[in-house]
Copies of this chain bind each other. A is one copy, B any other.
Amino acid sequence: MSIARIGILTAGGDCPGLNAVVRAATKHALKNNIEVFGFKNGFDGLVKNQYIILDDKIVSGILTRGGTILGTSNLANPFNYTLPPLASPEEPKDLSSMVLHTLKTNRIDALVAIGGDGTLSMASKFIDMGVKIIGVPKTIDNDLSATDFTFGFDSALAVASEAVDRIHTTAESHHRVMIVETMGRYAGWIALRSCIAGGGDICLIPEIPYNINVVAKAIEDRQRKGKTFSIIVAAEGAVDESGKMAVQKKVEGSTDPIRLGGISGIIAAQIEKMLNVECRVVVLGHLQRGGTPTAFDRWLATRFGAKAVDLILKEDFGNMVALRGTDIVSVPIKEAVSKLKKVDPNGQEVKTALEVGTSFGSPTLG
């Protein structure tokens, strides 16, 4: 069988580099006389048969642009899809077959699915149903063990590090404790690396539950050395040792978790109460997802996109592209998903952070 037409989709939260993958895959495919259908808004476009035909002109100039020209959707899981109100009750079970129908109708020989854990798990199910799929991993949190880095992470890190730099000057001038809250609900990579890169004093991540007394003591230790300010870099998923999920639950119970301050607001209030010090918070939120990708991310995304089409040309389906050292390799999607790469509390990176003086607010570490 020869490949004449492929589909591409981008699903899940947006991420700098998505367009670079789309561009590279499209250019490489077109060079091999393969047509490219860009499905809109993730699997939603496959369900609804909505697409644009990608040609050289459309992908020209998108390399440097954040977001995705295909649109994306966090919700569109065709396996448990909420239908619009007017749909008839028996339809839901057929949604995944609508996807198959779309692929067949448009004679899509293979699919490049760019997305995170959820997207790749869905892709995995469609592979079982006979769809020819190549996966491209996308997680701004860099928490996939199958690949050394995912694109978007470096761009997020650049934003977080620059934020730590900016906050430094204010903290120093005002003798304050400042908290920078980064993304990272389950993995602390953005917080840990931006803390190392920005010279943060305290780093709070999901993998190392903190004790607020240890955090306070770290600040006091600095004060004793004449350092009148401290910088805390906290992942949004940072958890308190005693009753770990309490804070998180409370936040999730609010009408608007992320936007209303998150974990760092709570920590700030605690510190102000415990120590005689002003404490301010910056929640970076969506700033970490948007904007022009860094050179590294554009390079990685381009290599991923080109490799995805390489695998299609070799008809080596069911695989996901991944970075190992400086090589792009392929790994079976089924193996790749669900192996989360978390920060190892006893690993090298935490050790480095401790060695340069960072506290993790943990009674047992450092």
Whether A122 is near chain B, meaning CB under 8 Å from some CB there, is no
Encode contact with B along A41-85: 1 for CB under 8 Å, 0 otherwise: 100000000000000100000011111100111100000000000
Q: Pick from B298, B307, B351: contact of A161, CB below 8 A.
A: B298
Nearest B residue to A273, CB-CB: B255
* B285→A259 contact, CB < 8 A: no
CA–CA, A31 to B359, complex, Å?
Answer: 13
CA–CA, A158 to B64, complex, Å?
Answer: 13
CA–CA, A169 to B140, complex, Å?
Answer: 15
Whether A167 is near chain B, meaning CB under 8 Å from some CB there, is yes
Tell me, rounded to whole Å, the shortest Cβ–Cβ distance linking A144 to chain B. Answer: 12
Whether A217 is near chain B, meaning CB under 8 Å from some CB there, is no
Tally A residues with Cβ within 8 Å of B: 95
Number of copies of chain A assembled together: 4
Q: Which residues of B contact A216 (CB under 8 A)?
A: none
* A265→B256 contact, CB < 8 A: yes
Tell me, rounded to whole Å, the shortest Cβ–Cβ distance linking A87 to chain B. Answer: 16
Q: Is the interface of A mostly helix, strand, loop or mixed?
A: helix
Tell me, rounded to whole Å, the shortest Cβ–Cβ distance linking A63 to chain B. Answer: 4
* B199→A64 contact, CB < 8 A: yes
Q: Which residues of B contact A260 (CB under 8 A)?
A: 260-261, 265
Q: Which residues of B contact A299 (CB under 8 A)?
A: 157, 193, 196-197
Nearest B residue to A74, CB-CB: B174
* A307→B259 contact, CB < 8 A: no
Interface residue ranges of A316-366 to B (CB < 8 Å): 324-328, 348-349, 351-352, 355-357
CA–CA, A349 to B323, complex, Å?
Answer: 12
Whether A244 is near chain B, meaning CB under 8 Å from some CB there, is no
CA–CA, A161 to B294, complex, Å?
Answer: 9
Whether A173 is near chain B, meaning CB under 8 Å from some CB there, is yes
Q: Which residues of B contact A348 (CB under 8 A)?
A: 303, 327-328
Q: Which residues of B contact A31 (CB under 8 A)?
A: 355, 357
Q: Pick from B174, B291, B309: contact of A14, CB below 8 A.
A: B174
* A66→B282 contact, CB < 8 A: no
Encode contact with B along A294-305: 1 for CB under 8 Å, 0 otherwise: 111011001100
CA–CA, A41 to B310, complex, Å?
Answer: 40
Q: Pick from B173, B197, B355: contact of A71, CB below 8 A.
A: B173
* A303→B256 contact, CB < 8 A: no
Whether A27 is near chain B, meaning CB under 8 Å from some CB there, is yes
Q: Pick from B173, B261, B328: contact of A259, CB below 8 A.
A: B261
Encode contact with B along A154-196: 1 for CB under 8 Å, 0 otherwise: 1001111111011111101111001000000000000001101
CA–CA, A259 to B180, complex, Å?
Answer: 11
* A355→B27 contact, CB < 8 A: yes
22 CB < 8 A contacts A-B: A63-B197, A66-B169, A67-B168, A67-B169, A67-B173, A71-B175, A148-B325, A148-B326, A160-B295, A162-B291, A166-B289, A167-B287, A193-B295, A197-B295, A256-B265, A282-B284, A282-B285, A282-B286, A302-B356, A307-B352, A324-B325, A328-B348
